């Protein structure tokens, strides 16, 4: 998945990208305008790195181009989603950013949500205008108890409210993938979290490849694939470009972009949040690497970007948001995000009649 430039005299795409990068920061935006905006062809890994290395004085120009790309290839609508944790805390994995791991002395403790509460959360989410409701569990993968609760919960939600149901339950078997598809779960979230080369610095209890395998099974089963990660965990810009290229190879329907919100008691608890301009540069670069993908604001944007930065991201490639709170951290009030979308004349996507 890493781009390799061959020593050849011919003008291969890799050599062209390298030449564009060497020619200066102004040229990569000109290349992106032709390649991505006009032709709909994503930037490759080397080109994404060139975008990530643009100086701050080119940031506004970059964001404007990313917004044009989003409008051209995705349209003006913004998809709104709410999430709820059906099983919180007590996870056996050691994801270094996560306060739900049972291996760290974080304040989050294990808890289960009952079906009536799950349905109530789905109704509240639908009332905000959201079309997606994602059920999340802090597990390595679902056991039979969790699968049984999913069967009951999804059926109850579908009977009570008109909303698409997504799920995020960790790594799956073929049988579990088929069961979720049969339940009517239309989108499955399983984040790769970071570049393959950096993953061992983030998680040691399972591999990047195990996550990739789950995602390919989900796609093969006909469910939509939701896969993103967290920016600002100590990875280099080169690794962010690598990650964007790996996501592009996966071709997910949705990419949630989180920014590290350091949680007390976790191995990453003392890290500084990503600087706002770097976060915006990353948003735009990912849009140019994934021109037709739903690119969603997820956790950490409140501390990394604040109100002004959040607006700039929506005008810099983002076309979906999670409203309300996240799994273990507080978000902005849903009304605040919806008012912002209205002020920016960005219509909320309607529920698809085909799902």
pLDDT in tens, 25-57: 449 999 999 999 999 999 999 999 999 999 999
pLDDT in tens, 75-100: 999 999 988 888 777 788 999 999 88
Say what the pLDDT of residue 353 is. Answer: 40
| Confidence at 262, pLDDT banded by 50, 70, 90 | very high
- Structure confidence at residue 330 (pLDDT): 45
Average pLDDT of span 181-206: 97
Distance CA 46, CA 166 (A): 33
Per-residue pLDDT band for 351 (boundaries 50, 70, 90) equals low
Percent of the chain with pLDDT over 70: 86
pLDDT at 4: 34
- What is the reported pLDDT for 337? 85
Residue-wise pLDDT tens digits, 329-338: 445 677 888 8
| pLDDT of res. 277 | 97
Predicted pLDDT at 324: 64
Q: In which band, very low, low, confident or very high, does the pLDDT at 328 lie, cut at 50, 70 and 90?
A: very low
> What is the pLDDT confidence band of residue 16, given thresholds at 50, 70 and 90?
very low
Residue 310 has pLDDT above 80, yes or no: yes
Q: Does residue 3 carry a pLDDT above 70? A: no
What is the C-alpha separation between 188 and 254, in angstroms, rounded? 10
Q: What is the mean pLDDT of residues 302-312?
A: 89
More confident residue, 105 or 7: 105
Residue 307 has a pLDDT of 84
Q: What is the pLDDT of residue 148?
A: 95
pLDDT-derived band of residue 102, with 50, 70 and 90 as boundaries?
A: low
SS3 of the chain: the string is CCCCCCCCCCCCHHHHHHHHHHCCHHHHHHHHHHHHHHCCCCCCHHHHHHHHCCCHHHHHHHHHHHHHHHHHHHCCCEEEEEEEEEEECCECCCCCCCCCECCCCCCCCCEECCHHHHHHHHHHHHHCCCCEEEEEECCCCCCHHHHHHHHHHHHHHHHHCCCEEEEECCCCCHHHHHHHHHHCCCEEECCCECCCCCHHHCCCCCCHHHHHHHHHHHHHCCCEEECCEEECCCCCHHHHHHHHHHHHHHCCCEEEEEECCCCCCCCCCCCCCCCHHHHHHHHHHHHHHCCCCEEEECCCHHHHCHHHHHHHHHCCCCCEEECCCCCCCCCCCHHHHHHHHHHCCCCECCCCCCC
- At residue 147, the pLDDT reads 96
How much is the pLDDT for 2? 36
Greater confidence (138 vs 176) lies with 176
Q: Where does the pLDDT of residue 14 fall: very low under 50, low under 70, confident under 90, or very high at 90 and above?
A: low
**For residue 140, pLDDT beyond 90:** yes
Q: Which band of pLDDT confidence, cut at 50, 70 and 90, is reported for residue 153?
A: very high
Query: In this predicted structure, what is the pLDDT of residue 5?
Result: 32
Residue partners of 88: CB distance under 8 A and separation at least 6:
100, 108, 109, 110, 111, 112, 113, 138, 327, 328
Confidence band, pLDDT 50/70/90 cuts, at residue 15 = very low
Are 89 and 108 within 8 A, CB to CB?
A: yes
- What pTM was estimated for this model as a whole? 0.88
Work out the mean pLDDT of the chain and round it to a whole number.
Answer: 88
Provide mean pLDDT across the span 205-233: 97
């Amino acid at each position: 998945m890493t781009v390799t430039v061959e020593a050849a005299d011919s003008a291969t795409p890799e050599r062209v990208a390298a030449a564009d990068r060497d020619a200066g920061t102004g040229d990569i935006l000109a290349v992106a305008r032709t390649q991505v905006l006009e032709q709909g062809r994503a930037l490759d890994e080397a080109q994404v790195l060139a975008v990530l290395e643009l100086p701050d004085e080119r940031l506004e120009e970059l964001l404007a181009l990313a917004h044009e790309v989003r409008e051209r290839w995705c349209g003006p609508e913004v998809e709104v989603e709410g999430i709820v944790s059906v099983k919180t805390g007590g996870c056996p994995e050691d994801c270094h950013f996560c306060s739900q791991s049972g291996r760290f002395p974080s304040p989050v403790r294990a808890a289960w949500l009952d079906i009536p509460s799950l349905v109530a959360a789905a109704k509240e989410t639908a009332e905000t205008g959201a079309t997606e409701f994602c059920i999340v569990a802090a597990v390595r993968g679902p056991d039979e108890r969790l699968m049984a609760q999913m069967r009951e919960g999804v059926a109850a939600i579908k009977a009570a409210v008109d909303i698409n149901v997504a799920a995020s339950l960790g790594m799956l078997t073929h049988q579990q993938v088929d069961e979720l598809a049969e339940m009517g779960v239309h989108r499955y979230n399983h984040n790769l979290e970071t570049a393959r080369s950096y993953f061992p610095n983030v998680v040691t209890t399972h591999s990047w490849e195990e996550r990739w395998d789950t995602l390919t099974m989900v796609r093969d089963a006909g469910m939509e694939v939701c896969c993103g990660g967290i920016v600002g965990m100590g990875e280099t810009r080169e690794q962010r470009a690598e990650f964007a290229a790996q996501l592009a190879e996966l071709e997910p329907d949705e990419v949630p972009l989180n920014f590290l919100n350091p949680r007390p008691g976790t191995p990453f608890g003392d890290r500084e949040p990503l600087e706002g301009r770097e976060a915006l540069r990353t948003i735009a670069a990912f849009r140019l690497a994934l021109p037709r993908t739903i690119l969603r604001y997820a956790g950490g944007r409140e501390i990394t970007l604040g109100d002004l930065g959040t607006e700039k991201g929506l005008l810099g490639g983002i076309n979906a948001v999670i409203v309300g709170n996240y799994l273990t951290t507080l978000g902005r009030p849903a009304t605040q995000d919806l008012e912002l979308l209205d002020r920016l004349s960005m219509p909320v996507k309607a529920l698809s009649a085909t799902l």
